[in-house]
Amino acid sequence: MTTYAFRSASPAKTRADAVVVGIATSTKGPVIASGGEDVQAAWGRKFRPLLSAIGFTGKAGEVAKVPTAGAINSPLVVLVGLGEQKQVDHVRVRRAAGVAARTVTNAASVAIALPADSPELVRAVTEGYLLGTYAFDDYKRDSKPKSEKSSEVVVLSPIARQGEAIAAYERAHLVAGALNATRQWVNLPANDLNPPLFADAVVAAHAELTKGKGAPKVGIKVWDEQELAADGCGGILGVGGGSATPPRLVKLTWEPAGATRHVALVGKGVTFDSGGYTIKPANSMATMKEDMAGAASVVQALFLIARLGLPVKVTAWAPMAENMVSGEAMRPGDVLTIRGGTTVEVSNTDAEGRLILADALVMAAEEEPDAIIDIATLTGHMVVALGDKVAGVMGTDDVVADLRAAADAAGEAVWPMPIPEEMEQRVRSSKIADIAQHDWVRWGGGLFAAAFLREFTNGLPWGHLDIAGPGFNTGGPHGFTPAGGTGFGVATLVEYVESLAAARPDDA
């Protein structure tokens, strides 16, 4: 067990196996970041020569372990780069804390003395560190059960006795817990997380969240394949038809007394995307266990919203299906009937996400929420456009603006993309059905997908996050982001809901 504490103390006097301090770059060379001044003072004039001796500049991502040889109470100081001094903000601090967490692997006790003189920075340090400790090693022979490793982590802050700082510190634990839980689901291989197992995992997590006195009250409903058929969910059934493990739909409801707003969250839960008969090439298929990241993030976002007790009604819809090939799989040319009766001509079985989202969007819209937000690893086109660290955001102008602000506050990168007018005609261009799922025009596929989803939102305020890039990290760990599932989106969704809670009802 790792225990965490939040204290106001000098990092030079704190007894810990390792002390983490930040170094920023400046025109005058590397400078100690706030929080670490005492450590520098303990070295006195020998501090700068020490940095130059090991070639430490303070660039973001840089990290070094330095034995202190008695200069401070702790035997080891861990230096982490924060980048340009004037640009040190909560995002950089969160990343640096993550780097530090991955570096102190053999210390039983760690004191973190990164910049933490505002509640926002307290949250960034704590969250970044907790996120940085996450690694997916469940399938490694030598992975220790997490409970066996006992250690203590102390976050140091000059304002550690202030209520707002304590609240920020506690919130960081909840946020990081939700992101790490999202990552865990995304990382589970598709043979251990098929649609029924995913739904079971959500049921189990829900039971854990809601058990005991004072626990938040969250409603849950799971549709199996018969119930999906009874409710006319032809999109989810079409996509899931080729799999030996049948599809599911999970709905969660957080409805606090007195809530005046309702937000519906809808997340893509394709537990594995082979492409179906429009099969993917081997290299694109390899990471497609990630294709349920949207569903994992809406579930964990709702759980987090409930834990935080945010005064907004939130529903989360997680359609789950495995896109496979078999005698019962959907074919190119098939026509599916989405809930509500809209028929869709399928021409590319690999554009499956929009089909399962369509049913869930219709169900969400039936409750007439004030806004619908969907999140999905939807298109490779978005990765081509924005790279693998930025999500595309589309939808109605007001919701897009609010989501951008929420993402900024959460420290997640999103960028607006348009839904050009022509897309509406293209989506409605099927010769035989109400709408076309795909039109083989190579360009702007991420925008076409958004226009397709819009058909199922019943004109309600709506935002769409395409996280095909940032939802999964195929490279090595960086900042607070591990390899594999990232948890991207959870923090933005929660921040968005919180911004509605803060707005007065008549602002709507």
Active site residues: 280, 354
With contacts defined by CB under 5 A, name the span among 109-117, 288-296, 408-416, 432-440 that binds Zn ion: 288-296
The mark string for 263-282 relative to ligand BES (x by CB under 6 A, - otherwise) is ----------x---------
Which member of 291, 359, 412, 498 binds Zn ion (CB under 5 A)?
A: 291
Instruction: Give the shortest CB-197-to-Mn ion separation in angstroms.
Output: 20
Q: What is the rounded distance in angstroms from the CA atom of residue 395 to the CA atom of residue 257?
A: 29
Instruction: Give the shortest CB-438-to-Zn ion separation in angstroms.
Output: 12
Residues in binding contact with ligand BES, number by CB under 6 A: 16
With contacts defined by CB under 6 A, name the span among 31-39, 215-223, 243-251, 376-384 that binds ligand BES: 376-384
Strands (E), 305-413: 313-323, 335-337, 343-345, 371-376, 391-395
Q: What is the rounded distance in angstroms from the CA atom of residue 315 to the CA atom of residue 305?
A: 11
Based on CB atoms, which residue is closest to Zn ion, 350 or 495?
Answer: 350
With contacts defined by CB under 5 A, name the span among 20-28, 158-166, 291-299, 396-404 that binds Zn ion: 291-299
CB atoms within 10 A of CB 448: 25
Residues in binding contact with Mn ion, number by CB under 5 A: 3
379 lies in the binding site for ligand BES (CB under 6 A): yes
459: left (phi over 0), alpha (psi -120 to 50) or beta: left
The mark string for 331-370 relative to ligand BES (x by CB under 6 A, - otherwise) is -----------------x-xxxx-----------------
461 lies in the binding site for Zn ion (CB under 5 A): no
Based on CB atoms, which residue is closest to Mn ion, 132 or 485?
Answer: 485
383 lies in the binding site for ligand BES (CB under 6 A): yes
Question: CB of 416 within 8 A of CB of 394?
Answer: yes
Q: What is the rounded distance in angstroms from the CA atom of residue 377 to the CA atom of residue 291?
A: 6
Based on CB atoms, which residue is closest to ligand BES, 74 or 377?
Answer: 377
Instruction: Give the shortest CB-196-to-ligand BES separation in angstroms.
Output: 20
Based on CB atoms, which residue is closest to Mn ion, 312 or 318?
Answer: 318
Question: CB of 373 within 8 A of CB of 265?
Answer: yes
Which ranges in 309-379 belong to alpha helices (H)? 353-366
Please give the radius of gyration of the chain, using alpha carbons only, rounded to the nearest integer.
Answer: 24
438 lies in the binding site for ligand BES (CB under 6 A): yes
Question: CB of 174 within 8 A of CB of 474?
Answer: no
Which member of 81, 445, 461, 479 binds ligand BES (CB under 6 A)?
A: 445
Would you give the DSSP letter of residue 71?
A: S
Based on CB atoms, which residue is closest to Mn ion, 232 or 380?
Answer: 380
3-state class (DSSP) for residue 461: coil
Residues with Cβ within 8 Å of residue 247, at least 6 apart in sequence: 195, 225, 228, 236, 237, 239, 240, 319, 320, 321, 322, 356
Q: What is the rounded distance in angstroms from the CA atom of residue 100 to the CA atom of residue 116?
A: 15
Token pair for 483: 């390899």
Q: What is the rounded distance in angstroms from the CA atom of residue 199 to the CA atom of residue 295?
A: 10
Q: What is the rounded distance in angstroms from the CA atom of residue 281 to the CA atom of residue 331?
A: 18
Enumerate residues 315-374 that contact Mn ion by CB under 5 A: 350, 352
289 lies in the binding site for ligand BES (CB under 6 A): no
345 binds, options Mn ion, ligand BES, Zn ion, none, Cβ within 5 to 8 A by partner type: none
3-state class (DSSP) for residue 370: coil
Residue nearest to Zn ion (CB): 273
36 binds, options Mn ion, Zn ion, ligand BES, none, Cβ within 5 to 8 A by partner type: none
Which member of 62, 127, 225, 273 binds Zn ion (CB under 5 A)?
A: 273
Residues with Cβ within 8 Å of residue 148, at least 6 apart in sequence: none
Q: What is the rounded distance in angstroms from the CA atom of residue 205 to the CA atom of residue 182?
A: 11
Q: What is the rounded distance in angstroms from the CA atom of residue 53 to the CA atom of residue 74?
A: 21
Based on CB atoms, which residue is closest to Mn ion, 264 or 270?
Answer: 270
Q: Which residues are at the interface with ligand BES (CB under 6 A)?
A: 273, 291, 348, 350-353, 377-381, 383, 438, 445, 468
Q: Which residues are at the interface with Mn ion (CB under 5 A)?
A: 273, 350, 352
